[in-house]
Chain A
């Protein structure tokens, strides 16, 4: 009996398929539920207009559950055709398990530099499995109107940075800096990874850590923690229980003057501020005037092909389009703060986004230090860094002790760090 039912179901699907004149629907798995509207209103119509016969269904999951949900679906075989890729190991693991298809031969891969592709390649660089979509840059957002009111200029050096914070604190109208520690990742991502590259000299330090010639207890890696420890005095009352949305709201409601940020906040903040004040941005301050500046320009999001997808051809067509200049321009403008990784420069209209991207011209870009290779083992360096950054700001662990603990954890499984 079940067989009859299954046959009937099959016939049904078949007929439905035939009726729709071989329309293929591709489902996109993503963690960007914030972008649902942009996909539905801008990106998908643009693609479908150019490619009749292919329909796109954007099906996002909340970011916190994305990895768990995606992996379960891939293991069981019910995942969508297109997979939004986390950078580095999370996606590499899927590729190694044969769940993501090899996209090295995609024509549009030529539009991306090796650096852009590095987040979605095998360690030897021989295979690329996701099309790079965007990177995010760290820096500080500030309330321009408040700065004008208090007669402040955006700081360029570390000393100026603290001078500005001191003045805001003294004045008392605004909370100097909006950040909390309970969510931990703010402290690590918007704190440590934001100001850190200046001290460990960007790529130089990051690569030295990977090849074992530097340790996390070296000066360049401990100093960012010392800086974070100083931030404590400039955060709002009760920052130990101030969540990420609390921080965002404090800033957008005009109650805090400076917000340690990732560029993705631009698109979130502007509609919420709704013209109540003007927002500006400044790059992570350098130690002394004239020093080279370093910024975290982190490859954050790509898109790949589910190796088990029955619609691989249509999906490849879509991926080619994602690699095109047209997509780059659509995406970067629809989502200010997500910067295209395409080698051909994209015109952006958003002023704050332009400010962020302008730092690429004279600063050395790097990616987050913990993402490549170093978070492959247990304990996981990235998660440990979250915890350590929050502890250091809370004052429950000294910068030196935190650095030592991280080094010990890393050396416990990572061979190049063991001698």
Chain B
């Protein structure tokens, strides 16, 4: 590679289509929007206000309370995904990838099905199942003698967010499962055979040989989960509405942003404060992704096969 001296046009050719479409349709409009956070509404239109919107967001007790509430909820939402979704996904992938398993194709297909459903469907069906009125969950608990455990989970401030996080885990567990599965399959047979020669099998083989090899994939999954969770909006919106009830217990940054930016009912949309929230969210996510890209990704040992 080093011997090539002239301008490497092929790099440009490889990058150009993606960069052009992406810049024109996504980046320019988004910059236009984020830029609004530096402006405010004044006499006769838009006025430049500098960072005043940010000081409102973090300084005004109402705005900041709403923001920190959404951020804390979001952090919990993310934590549930990291603790439940990703371990379960890795476990399912590990079970599926064991080469002697029968019906692996069926399991894999079935477990991925929730991921292809739209949020509208997911929100609707879980509300139906968990509804105290129509009796699916209460009757099922009743059948195993646990009726007393049932509560209107989605309606209680203490349980609504966790319930929705678990619904989201249910929906998306297929993604870590698929990515890890692909990573496990790409481990060369020679590596596994060598391990077996050394008598490393079963779970200890998974922990000692396979897990280190799929760590980069787990890294990607974690950062994708992080980005996805901090942008999450739809599930809350379809199941709890834009006001993210009960009493904002399920408000995430995404719903807070939507409500502010586009307005809701009598509350008029405020593009300037909306853009301010979006910029703050963007900052949070950017920091997270940069930590991954520059601190974690570079340290992970990569194996080329």
Contact flag (A, B; Cβ within 8 A)? yes
**When the two chains form their complex, are residues B266 and A238 in contact, meaning their CB atoms are under 8 A apart?**
no
A408 nearest in chain B by CB position: B62
**When the two chains form their complex, are residues A67 and B247 in contact, meaning their CB atoms are under 8 A apart?**
no
How far does the alpha carbon of A103 sit from the alpha carbon of B270 in the complex, in Å? Answer: 27
How far does the alpha carbon of A378 sit from the alpha carbon of B53 in the complex, in Å? Answer: 14
* Given A236-B133, A241-B131, A241-B132, also A183-B241 (CB < 8 A): yes
Residues of chain A from 348 to 393 with CB closer than 8 A to chain B in the complex: 370-371, 375, 378-383, 386-387, 390-391
Q: Does residue A212 face the partner (Cβ distance < 8 Å to B)?
A: no
* Given A68-B269, A242-B131, A242-B133, also A387-B245 (CB < 8 A): yes
**When the two chains form their complex, are residues B263 and A238 in contact, meaning their CB atoms are under 8 A apart?**
no
Q: Which of B94-102, B151-159, B172-180 makes up part of the contact surface?
A: B151-159
For chains A and B in complex, what number of residue pairs have CB atoms within 8 angstroms? 115
Contacts of A250 in B (CB 8 A): 133
**When the two chains form their complex, are residues B266 and A371 in contact, meaning their CB atoms are under 8 A apart?**
yes
Q: Which of A88, A381, A396 has the most CB of B within 10 A?
A: A396
* Given A64-B242, A238-B132, A412-B62, also A181-B262 (CB < 8 A): no
* Given A236-B133, A238-B133, also A380-B266 (CB < 8 A): yes
Contacts of B243 in A (CB 8 A): 184, 383, 386-387
Q: Does residue B264 face the partner (Cβ distance < 8 Å to A)?
A: yes
**When the two chains form their complex, are residues A181 and B246 in contact, meaning their CB atoms are under 8 A apart?**
yes
Q: How large is the interface on A (under 10, 10 to 19, 20 to 34, 35 or more residues)?
A: 35 or more
Interface readout for A166-185 with B: 1 if CB under 8 Å, 0 if not?
A: 00000000000000111111
Q: Does residue B52 face the partner (Cβ distance < 8 Å to A)?
A: no
Contacts of B155 in A (CB 8 A): 180-182, 238-242, 394
Q: Does residue A90 face the partner (Cβ distance < 8 Å to B)?
A: yes
Closest chain A CB from B247 CB (angstroms)? 6
Contacts of B156 in A (CB 8 A): 240-241
Interface readout for B124-159 with A: 1 if CB under 8 Å, 0 if not?
A: 000100111110000000000000000111111100
Q: Does residue A237 face the partner (Cβ distance < 8 Å to B)?
A: yes
Q: How many residues of B contact A (CB 8 A)?
A: 32
How far does the alpha carbon of A73 sit from the alpha carbon of B30 in the complex, in Å? Answer: 17
Closest chain B CB from A136 CB (angstroms)? 15
B157 nearest in chain A by CB position: A396
Closest chain B CB from A303 CB (angstroms)? 19
How far does the alpha carbon of A113 sit from the alpha carbon of B275 in the complex, in Å? Answer: 41
Contacts of A409 in B (CB 8 A): 62
Report which of A184, A241, A371, A383 forms a contact with B153, defined as CB distance below 8 A.
Answer: A241
Q: Does residue B168 face the partner (Cβ distance < 8 Å to A)?
A: no
Contacts of A379 in B (CB 8 A): 62
Q: Does residue A227 face the partner (Cβ distance < 8 Å to B)?
A: no
Contacts of B63 in A (CB 8 A): 378
Sorted from nearest, which 5 A-B pairs have the closest CB atoms?
Answer: A238-B132, A240-B155, A241-B155, A241-B152, A68-B262
New contact pairs (12) apart from A238-B155, A240-B155, CB-CB < 8 Å: A67-B263, A67-B264, A71-B262, A182-B240, A185-B265, A238-B132, A241-B130, A241-B132, A246-B131, A246-B133, A378-B267, A382-B265
18 A-B residue pairings within 8 Å (CB atoms): A64-B241, A64-B242, A89-B266, A181-B155, A182-B245, A182-B246, A236-B132, A238-B152, A241-B127, A241-B153, A242-B152, A243-B127, A378-B267, A383-B266, A383-B267, A387-B248, A394-B246, A409-B62
